[in-house]
Structure 1
């Protein structure tokens, strides 16, 4: 499937309010055709530009000092494609550096630049030459000649790439008008400056001479300028919308956190346990990022949607929504699900725009022979527009602010028995164990900590090591787990007392049979 069709299909899965901020891939493709036509009209082939620019890196394409002379004629490439100006007002340029003694280069540039007078004379006799608009000379300095490709009145009218039925609506019209105004101001200003220079300095068009001196010609591409102006406008609109959305999502996370503190408080024991199970499933789903040691990477958009679907199905299968007794809890769950959907949308739009950017730049390079895909991403600093860490930061904020409101039993489990550390004993090494496991360790003459191997941590532990504040916290948030822990501790203590009285040891299987036997009904009565 072609990317244009894929983009159109996937955009249907995105909310309507987000669609205007997707890069208009089809519109940009139309401008690429004009860029290629502009270059070919001046006698430069795509193959020639590919040969000169192939393999160039971003450092090779950085704009050189255009105010000073070229120091060395032994340059790696005689053609350089780069961007001038500051973001977002950038100007694509082609820089030709040549020696006057090389006839093939001077002939190529003669064809590219042409003779203004000859073209004017020919245009009166042959209308076909109007298809090749001449280059407008701007200035010369230190053997560097500056030109810009002119846009005829017909070409200027063709700059409009938006249809009347465009999905962008008013936004598209505003951007379109801005583009017209941008080119009108630039063309008018450049013309005034050139007229003033011609009035002040009597200097004609520079001629390419056949000598050994190194010359440089810099050409600004008007149609390429229109392409990148539209592209920068699309990027700015998308980045601006991303910033607004991220600020709103952060505010929604803070608001939901305040609601969760109330609806999932220990005072609402039934809802608290349901919320704990919901967040446990949410963490197991690993929707946006892996949490295991072997995989902590961000999920792809498709994987994110799959995991979110699994999480939703688990909620339905276990009927957790209906188990929430408080109406405010159900409303908070709806807001929680909406926040996750918002994060998925942000991630999806980022992925589509980034892919569209890569595809359109490759298409631009293929059709025009230039190498914008090499230097444009670094020149404009894509991270400022796509913000690759945005989704990761928002997901981390949601997990940190929401899932930590309700503590999980695993976070307060004894490292030995893996149950809640009831009557927690904090050793001198700061590790916490339940009192039952610590007593067993002391009976077995274990002196060192099982976690860090502190030599006397277990041996010196006593009732003074009881963490009273942690015990109150566990009693508040884990009443069911502590009740079960007390039953198990009492059962173990009863078995030890029974073994001490009878002098016999019982295996776990024997104890299990004894427990089953005690549950049988009496047959005598």
Structure 2
């Protein structure tokens, strides 16, 4: 399936009010044909080889024009063009310029270098005759090409580079038609002052100068159709960016509003608190947007995120968590949470489609016109498809999922259980008191995480984090009770083991 059909099919997955913000790939594709036609007409008028591949008229490609000079491996192919009468370009470059107002101007620059011819030509100045401006320079043909009997050059003219002629006498003198020149060269030299028969809408500028005794002519071509192509593409991108900025503000407002209501129903004194905690735990386990601890990277595509979110919602329905709500507000908030995630999928899909359409249309432009813009266009306008989505995902996790504490955030790094009676060491790492006691018995005096010297050795009752202890009792009462029971059972087993070991030595118990 062609990409034009693919993007039309994918657009149907977006809400109807979002579809106008897609880049119109088919419309831009039609404009490329106009660029090819204008480029072909302009270069033919200037008698230059076409930088086109398979042109509409069936002519074969000559070379690709990119940012910088013509590649050396194509120069050998261009040498054969000198026999056809075309001007051989020495340097061909394609630049996309951006002015101070932000407007884009694609420019094709062709440089042609000519060596001076062997024939003699004379440049003289005529002081205001035949309606010409005063001191106009004209070039006369070499005397070697005229009849020897009637065109012998006088000694005065031979020894003079300029000839002052009276206007009355000069009007009666038989003289070739003068032409304007700026150097000694071939008859087909470009004339900057002469009008060019360029196609409508084309903008051609010619500049000539002498470099090391040779004439160098620079032809600057600005194609109107090429400029309109990039203007239209940038307008599509800017319009989409404006929509994304407005949507981000509205989305953040909706998330904050939902977070405020969620705080009320997820109070630790409410029945629905445990249900919401389980829902958010399953949401993080589903890894809808590749969320990891301390790193929010939306590496999933829109399709992957949509599939994972669908599996998450189906699992919630299967285990019947939504039906366990007692507060009717909780059911409404769950629907709003689903809606926000669906909008995240739409935004991700919109960005992916626009990024792909931009890359495809630039590739199509370069292939048809052989004016390479794929390396320059990204430097003119940024097209980031991850920053916005990452910001929205971060908002969801901090304002919604983070409202309900998860037990994984309060685990002891050593026993991987809830840090009951947490001890905060001088290095700020938190462990349960039971693990600190065990580490001391094993003569592990340094912090197991950061290796802070003697951090465990200097820990005592004063290191108990009372605020964290009260927080754990409030939000994880069930887990705290289970951990207390496990610790007490472990202590009992240790004491029993000590008694049995003493009995095994054959020593009687001594009652003090």
Q: Same fold (TM over 0.5)?
A: yes
Q: Distance in 1 between matches of 2:7 and 2:301?
A: 16
Q: Distance in 2 between matches of 1:298 and 1:58?
A: 35
Q: SS where residue 214 of structure 1 aligns?
A: strand
Q: Tell me if 1:26 matches 2:26.
A: yes
- Root mean square deviation, CA, Å: 3.6
Q: Tell me if 1:94 matches 2:95.
A: no
How does the TM-score come out when normalised to structure 1? Answer: 0.68
**Residue correspondence of structure 1 range 313-392 to structure 2 within 5 A:** 313-378=314-379, 380-383=380-383, 386=384, 388-392=386-390
Quickly say closer, same or farther: Cα 1:370–1:138, change in 2 above 3 A. Answer: closer
Quickly say closer, same or farther: Cα 1:398–1:505, change in 2 above 3 A. Answer: farther
Asked if the contact 1:81–1:370 (Cα under 8 Å) also holds between the matched residues in 2, the reply is no
CA shift at 1:388, angstroms?
A: 3.4
**Residue correspondence of structure 1 range 4-403 to structure 2 within 5 A:** 4-42=4-42, 43=44, 45=50, 46-47=52-53, 51-54=62-65, 56-57=66-67, 77-86=91-100, 88-101=102-115, 116=197, 133=199, 143=208, 212-268=214-270, 270-291=271-292, 298-378=299-379, 380-383=380-383, 386=384, 388-403=386-401
Asked if the contact 2:116–2:215 (Cα under 8 Å) also holds between the matched residues in 1, the reply is no
Asked if the contact 1:29–1:360 (Cα under 8 Å) also holds between the matched residues in 2, the reply is yes
What are the superposed Cα offsets for residues 262-317 of structure 1, whole Å, 9 maximum, x if unpaired?
1212121x322222122222222222235279995622222222222222222222
Quickly say closer, same or farther: Cα 1:253–1:320, change in 2 above 3 A. Answer: same
Asked if the contact 1:365–1:371 (Cα under 8 Å) also holds between the matched residues in 2, the reply is yes
What are the superposed Cα offsets for residues 184-216 of structure 1, whole Å, 9 maximum, x if unpaired?
xxxxxxxxxxxxxxxxxxxxxxxxxxx932222
Quickly say closer, same or farther: Cα 1:453–1:134, change in 2 above 3 A. Answer: closer
Asked if the contact 2:68–2:94 (Cα under 8 Å) also holds between the matched residues in 1, the reply is no
Q: Distance in 1 between matches of 2:69 and 2:479?
A: 63
Asked if the contact 1:99–1:215 (Cα under 8 Å) also holds between the matched residues in 2, the reply is yes
Q: Distance in 1 between matches of 2:301 and 2:105?
A: 35
What are the superposed Cα offsets for residues 470-499 of structure 1, whole Å, 9 maximum, x if unpaired?
111111111111121222233233434444
Q: Distance in 2 between matches of 1:471 and 1:293?
A: 24
Q: Distance in 1 between matches of 2:287 and 2:381?
A: 30
Structure 1 stretches (4+) deviating beyond 6 angstroms? 105-110, 135-140, 292-295
How does the TM-score come out when normalised to structure 2? Answer: 0.70
Asked if the contact 2:298–2:389 (Cα under 8 Å) also holds between the matched residues in 1, the reply is no
2:177 corresponds to which residue? none
Quickly say closer, same or farther: Cα 1:438–1:37, change in 2 above 3 A. Answer: same
Q: SS where residue 404 of structure 1 aligns?
A: helix
Q: SS where residue 105 of structure 2 aligns?
A: strand
Q: Give structure 1 stretches of 5+ with no counterpart.
A: 61-74, 117-131, 145-210, 507-525
CA shift at 1:85, angstroms?
A: 3.1
CA shift at 1:18, angstroms?
A: 0.8
Q: Distance in 1 between matches of 2:340 and 2:295?
A: 27
Asked if the contact 2:205–2:221 (Cα under 8 Å) also holds between the matched residues in 1, the reply is no
What are the superposed Cα offsets for residues 139-162 of structure 1, whole Å, 9 maximum, x if unpaired?
77x649xxxxxxxxxxxxxxxxxx
Larger Rg: 2
2:83 corresponds to which residue? none
Q: SS where residue 17 of structure 1 aligns?
A: coil
CA shift at 1:248, angstroms?
A: 1.2
Q: Distance in 2 between matches of 1:479 and 1:295?
A: 30
Quickly say closer, same or farther: Cα 1:267–1:309, change in 2 above 3 A. Answer: same
What are the superposed Cα offsets for residues 371-390 of structure 1, whole Å, 9 maximum, x if unpaired?
22232221x2223xx45311
Asked if the contact 1:52–1:78 (Cα under 8 Å) also holds between the matched residues in 2, the reply is no
Aligned residues: 404
Q: Distance in 2 between matches of 1:405 and 1:387?
A: 28
Mean alpha-carbon deviation: is it higher for 345-354 or for 294-303? Answer: 294-303
Asked if the contact 1:4–1:26 (Cα under 8 Å) also holds between the matched residues in 2, the reply is yes
Q: SS where residue 391 of structure 1 aligns?
A: helix
Of structures 1 and 2, the one scoring higher in RCO (CA 8 A, sep 6+) is 1
Quickly say closer, same or farther: Cα 1:412–1:293, change in 2 above 3 A. Answer: closer
Q: Distance in 1 between matches of 2:116 and 2:361?
A: 36
What are the superposed Cα offsets for residues 219-255 of structure 1, whole Å, 9 maximum, x if unpaired?
2212223322221221121111111111111222222
Asked if the contact 1:53–1:370 (Cα under 8 Å) also holds between the matched residues in 2, the reply is yes
Quickly say closer, same or farther: Cα 1:114–1:310, change in 2 above 3 A. Answer: farther
Quickly say closer, same or farther: Cα 1:106–1:381, change in 2 above 3 A. Answer: farther
What are the superposed Cα offsets for residues 40-98 of structure 1, whole Å, 9 maximum, x if unpaired?
234263149965544x34799xxxxxxxxxxxxxx972343433535653232322222
Q: Distance in 2 between matches of 1:329 and 1:58?
A: 62
